[in-house]
Amino acid sequence: MDHHPRWENIWRSVDVHLSTWDIGHKPSVMDLELAQYLEEVRSRFPPPKIRAKNP
């Protein structure tokens, strides 16, 4: 999509940060299109299982 988000992968989670430098760190049309695409990709996978902590 010719866009370069900040991407963090820590253990079992992935965070993607979208903003555009040249318009004052605000979301651009490219950010919104990429966010929509990432949401669609995420919807293909089951939600993560939450494990109970040991008492």
Q: pLDDT by residue (tens digit) across 32-47? A: 888 899 999 989 988 8
pLDDT of residue 7: 86
Pairwise CA distance, residues 19 & 24, whole Å: 8
- Asked if residue 6 lies in contact with residue 14, where contact means CB atoms within 8 angstroms, the answer is no
Q: Which of 12, 24, 18, 10 is nearest to 36 (CA)?
A: 18
pLDDT value of position 55: 63
pLDDT tens digits for range 1-55: 667 778 899 887 888 888 777 777 778 888 888 889 999 998 998 887 787 777 6
With contact defined as beta carbons under 8 Å apart, do 5 and 34 qualify? yes
Residue 51: what pLDDT? 77
- Residue 13: per-residue pLDDT: 83
